[in-house]
Amino acid sequence: MHPVEFTPQSDYLVTRAQLLSDLDRQTLVYLYQPLIGPVASALYETLWTQVKVHPQYTRDRAPHSKLLQTLGCDLDALYDARVHLEAVGLMKTYTQVDQSRHYIYEMYSPLRPADFIADDLLGTALYDAVGPAEFAERSAQFTVTPVRRQDMKDLTRGFMDVYHVAGNVLQTPEGLTEAREQTRTKATPLPRISNDVVDWELLARLLSKQNLRAEELSSKRSQIAQIAGFYGMTTSELARTLARAIDGLTGTIDLRRLQAEADTEFAHQSALKKQGTAATVSEPATTRASAPATPLSAEETDLLNRAKRMSVAEFLEAEKTSHSANAFVAPNETRALRQLTGRNVFDIPTINILVAYVLEGRTSINQSFLDAIANSWIQAGVNSPESALAQIRDYKAGRTSNQKKQQRNTPRRGRRVEKQPDWADKNYKAPTRVLSPAEQKQLNARIAALSKPKDDSQK
C-alpha cells in the first residue's frame, strides 16, 4: 500500500548514477526479474528511457500519472515495483518539497553477472526463487571461456608497444581531470544485513568437531545471521541446527536445508510451549534505547517487553494466536518478514512492534502493506521500538507529518445553515387574537361571497 503523499499528481524526475549496457539488460531479465517481478522490470526499463543527462529540476519533472498510463497499473503496483527496485540496488529514491512534493529516481545498472551470483543475498535469493535446475540454466547464460591452456604462447602486445603518447603521462591534463570527475559513477548500492546477532568465534568452536570447510562460515555469514536473527536462536541453538545442515562429504553448509531445519526446530519448540513443556528461551534481542517522549501506558509497556524478549517468528505466532487460538502463520507472512529482516532497516524489537501494529486491524500480514508502513517509519526516523510506539501513538492522534500535510492540503468548506421557521419548532404555538367588530363583519362578507352559488351567465 502506497504512502498518502505518493500520488499520481506528484512529480518525478529520473537521473542516472551509472551507464546501462546491453549486457545489463540481459542480466536484468535472467537474474533480477525472478526476484523483482515483471512490473518492476518494466518500470526499470521505462525509467531508463526517461533519464535526463543534465536535468533541470523544475522544468523536466513529470507527474506519476504518466508512468501509470505507460505501465497500465495502479498506484499500489507502481509503489510496490519501486520498492523492489530499491531493495535490490537498481535505484535510489529521493524526495523534496518546493511548490509541491516531487521525487528523484537515481538509476543504477545491474551488477555484473559474476558479482550477482557471488553476492550472498542476491545469489541465494535467486537460487531459492527459481530452484537448482533453473538457477544453473540462467547462470550458464553468462559463462565465459578464457584461454587456460598452458601450451599456448601469449603474443599480446602492450599499449606502449603500439601507441605513442605525447607529453608527460605522469602529469594529468586539466581537461582530462574534469572529464574523469564528470564521468565518475557511484557504486551500486548492495543489500546488506547485520551479522552481530551471532557470536562467530563461539560458533566456530562449537562446530570445530564437524567436517566443515574453513571458509564456509565466513562466506555464508549473512545468510546464517539472517536465519538466526529471524528465529531468535542463541549461538548454541544455531550450532545444533547448523550441524544438521552440513554435508558430510563436501563439508559445505546447505542453506536450503538450514532454513528447513530452522523451520522444523521452531515449530517443535512452539509445540512444546503450547503443551506447557519447558523449552529453551531465546536470548533477548539487543536494541538501541531511546526514551519515549511521553510515559508508556501499561499496555504499551507490556508490548515493548514482549517485543524485546521474542524473536520475529515467536512474536508473529504469539500475536496471531492472541486473536484466535486456531490462527496459524501462513508461508507468505513468514516470507514477507524474512525479506524485511534481511533489509536490515529495523532491529528485531522494532519489527515486532510493526507486526503488532499491522495485525491490529488485520487477520494476516500482506507484504505490500507491510512495506508501505516500514517505508513511512523510515521516513519518520523510527530507529527503535520506543520510537515505533511513539510513531503509532502520533498517527492515531493525527499528529504525524503526513497527516498534518494532508489536513493542510484539504480545503475547508463553510457549512451553510438554513434559518429554521418558527412554526417548525416542536414547541411552537399559533398566536391568538380577538377580531374587532369591523374585521369580523368584513370576514363574514367574504365567506358569504365565496359560498354563494354562481348563475349560468357567470359560468
State the CATH number of the domain containing residue 99: 1.10.10
Regarding whether 342 and 392 lie in a shared domain, the answer is: yes
CA triplet 295, 299, 300: central angle to 5 degrees? 50
- On whether the CB atoms of residues 266 and 231 are closer than 8 A, the answer is yes
Name the domain boundary from 65, 96, 115. Answer: 115
- Whole-angstrom Cα distance, residue 307 to residue 315? 7
Regarding whether 224 and 308 lie in a shared domain, the answer is: no
pLDDT at 289: 39
- Does residue 163 fall inside a structural domain? no
Bridge pairing between strands 91-97 and 101-107: antiparallel
- Does residue 173 fall inside a structural domain? no
Q: How far is CA 458 from each of CA 267, 453, 455, rounded to the nearest angstrom?
A: 103, 10, 6
Name the domain boundary from 342, 363, 398. Answer: 398
For residue 245, give its domain range.
200-274
- Does residue 179 fall inside a structural domain? no
Domain count, the chain: 3
Regarding whether 34 and 104 lie in a shared domain, the answer is: yes
Regarding whether 263 and 333 lie in a shared domain, the answer is: no
Regarding whether 379 and 347 lie in a shared domain, the answer is: yes
- Does residue 62 fall inside a structural domain? yes
- Does residue 18 fall inside a structural domain? yes
Regarding whether 319 and 240 lie in a shared domain, the answer is: no
Regarding whether 323 and 261 lie in a shared domain, the answer is: no
- Whole-angstrom Cα distance, residue 275 to residue 419? 69
Q: How many residues does the chain have?
A: 459
- Does residue 140 fall inside a structural domain? no
pLDDT tens string for the chain (459 positions)? 788 888 999 999 999 888 888 899 999 999 999 999 999 999 999 999 999 888 777 788 899 999 999 999 999 999 999 999 998 889 999 988 877 788 999 999 999 998 888 887 788 888 888 888 898 899 888 887 777 677 788 777 877 778 776 655 556 666 666 676 666 666 665 555 444 567 788 888 888 888 888 788 888 887 788 788 787 788 888 888 888 888 877 888 888 888 888 877 777 776 666 655 433 434 333 333 344 456 778 888 888 888 888 888 888 888 888 877 788 888 888 888 877 877 677 888 899 899 999 888 788 888 888 888 888 888 888 888 888 888 888 888 776 555 555 555 555 555 555 566 666 666 666 666 677 788 888 888 888 887 776 655 555
Regarding whether 103 and 15 lie in a shared domain, the answer is: yes
Strand partners, 346: none
Regarding whether 318 and 240 lie in a shared domain, the answer is: no
Closest CA to 231 of 278, 200, 191, 198: 198
Regarding whether 386 and 309 lie in a shared domain, the answer is: yes
- Does residue 270 fall inside a structural domain? yes
Regarding whether 317 and 234 lie in a shared domain, the answer is: no
Rounded to two decimals, the pTM is 0.42
- Does residue 124 fall inside a structural domain? no
pLDDT at 400: 59
pLDDT at 280: 40
Tally of CB atoms within 10 A around 458: 6
pLDDT at 44: 95
Regarding whether 304 and 266 lie in a shared domain, the answer is: no
Q: How far is CA 348 from each of CA 225, 243, 352, 385, rounded to the nearest angstrom?
A: 12, 25, 6, 9
